[in-house]
Structure 1
């Protein structure tokens, strides 16, 4: 027995004149609502201006750092010790490392920044100030966080001290004040310090450069002393006068 099924006809796309966009009607509608558009634009522009004026001015000090000597420079003490060791047939290990990369990593390290903040007493300016007074050239301290007269951190409603931890200080300094950028071609490092105070931004930048230079110098001295100690140890192990 043959069975027949009804196959649905394909849907046809029909043309409806009302589906067309009437540009004249569109412009007429926009023109009728022009005052609403203008008023909205003006309102947002004024709000943006007031918001910008309400924000405090941020000042930035920039310092360009360059390594004191190129990697592998024989004039450096490490290069001189390495040359002496090679004459004696002794390998002191890797010749050197990129000073720019080392300085960048040190500047972002928690240990270095924690020591920097405490050494220069930056805890209060970082965590307990509201603004910078241009007339008196001093910080405006938040009295609900820090007591200037007693030099003590206050407590919150639960009785816990508002004194920031070392991690709070480092995070605030890195996120809100410090910015580093490295030029791969020249090997130079740009250090930028932001602050509500122009003189403070410059002062912090100068202190940071001074401390990183001292830190890198101490590392070089320690490395040189370790190499000298190694050479002296090897010297004591040989009886060959020529090698000595």
Structure 2
């Protein structure tokens, strides 16, 4: 039990000696490392010179969701007892769901199928401009159907849908970033990057408008339906009330000097007066509920205020002609040194 073999391991002294040995070995290969590093720096400079600039369009806005106030909730509760729905229920969009709405195929496709708005190219569609400056038709090669595709005709078939889906996926993956810079605030930031400056600005402007309009319409759709129903009922009851008033006047005019002893002559006018009273009461309640519904609609309408929108000239995302070659130089030097050290260790193990 007292006999024990030598402990396996490495001491600090041996580790230092191995590090020194590795450094001496790299010094013998210094010329080779410098040559490869210079080649890496040259490649980095070439990439920085040939890399086309990408323009970043940024839009930030604040979103404040609408909701019932305390007093309005009391009116809504009383109205619900009477069987009247004033809206204000749950919404399909709550919290950060609007961020996903920006990335949805529906909104991006709708934006791509809108027109640029400039007269120089005959109001070209955004998607046609995207295909043009990204030279997608050249990448599609010998596929004649894809090379001849255009979206200005209006009719979309299976091939058009597949191209739109591919472009939407590419935009979501490489160009579009939707985020909340501060989780505590309702400020949303939309960034879009492309090779065309005008396209970047127009795309962000259209996307923000389409998504925000759709968001507001969806949030307030139920309340708007209630307001329209109540307005229709108000108009119907008002027409009935006017008809009843005309009936009372006609009944009185039919017997202007009725014998007071013949009460049967007053029955038609009394019936019309009852109709007038009932219609007046119903009309008053409908008007009251309509006003409450309008207030509910205002309370539920989200407030969307744009803080910063993209303006020309847009920021340019392009590799620096000085920074990029230096970074590539040092990365190549580190990578080459690691490969040489691993190669030496591998040869030592084989020995």
Instruction: Give the TM bin, normalised by the shorter chain.
Output: 0.5 to 0.7
Match status 1:84 vs 2:90 = no
Match status 1:168 vs 2:166 = yes
CA contact (8 A) 1:100 1:188 kept: no
**Offset at 1:173?**
2.5
Task: Point out 4+ residue stretches in structure 1 off by more than 6 angstroms.
Answer: 229-232, 239-243
Give the root-mean-square deviation of aligned CA atoms: 4.4
Residue 105 of structure 1, aligned match among 61, 83, 100: 100
**Offset at 1:106?**
1.9
- Match of residue 178 from structure 1: 176
Give the 3-state SS of the residue equivalent to 1:186 in structure 2: coil
C-alpha distance in structure 2 between counterparts of 1:142 and 1:208, whole Å = 25
- Match of residue 114 from structure 2: 119
- Match of residue 129 from structure 1: 133
Give the 3-state SS of the residue equivalent to 1:153 in structure 2: coil
**Offset at 1:115?**
2.2
Structure with greater strand percent: 1
C-alpha distance in structure 1 between counterparts of 2:200 and 2:37, whole Å = 37
Give the 3-state SS of the residue equivalent to 2:96 in structure 1: helix
**Unmatched 5+ residue regions in structure 1?**
1-6, 131-139, 155-160
CA contact (8 A) 2:112 2:203 kept: no
After superposition, residues 1-244 of structure 1 pair within 5 angstroms as: 10-12=4-6, 20=14, 21=17, 27-67=23-63, 69-72=64-67, 74=69, 82=73, 84-90=75-81, 92=87, 94=89, 101-120=96-115, 121-130=125-134, 142=137, 152-153=148-149, 164-182=162-180, 183-228=182-227
Give the 3-state SS of the residue equivalent to 2:59 in structure 1: strand
Deviations, residues 177-211 of structure 1 (Å, cap 9, x unaligned): 22100232111110111111222211111111221
C-alpha distance in structure 1 between counterparts of 2:89 and 2:210, whole Å = 26
Greater shift in the superposed pair: 93-102 or 195-204: 93-102
User: What TM-score comes out, normalization by structure 1 length?
Assistant: 0.64
Deviations, residues 71-113 of structure 1 (Å, cap 9, x unaligned): 4264xxxx99755322435475636676662432221222222
**Offset at 1:144?**
6.8
User: What TM-score comes out, normalization by structure 2 length?
Assistant: 0.47
Higher radius of gyration, 1 or 2 = 2
C-alpha distance in structure 1 between counterparts of 2:221 and 2:187, whole Å = 24
CA contact (8 A) 2:133 2:196 kept: no
C-alpha distance in structure 1 between counterparts of 2:202 and 2:185, whole Å = 26
C-alpha distance in structure 2 between counterparts of 1:123 and 1:98, whole Å = 28
Q: 1:63 to 1:73 in 2, by over 3 A?
A: farther
**Offset at 1:230?**
7.8
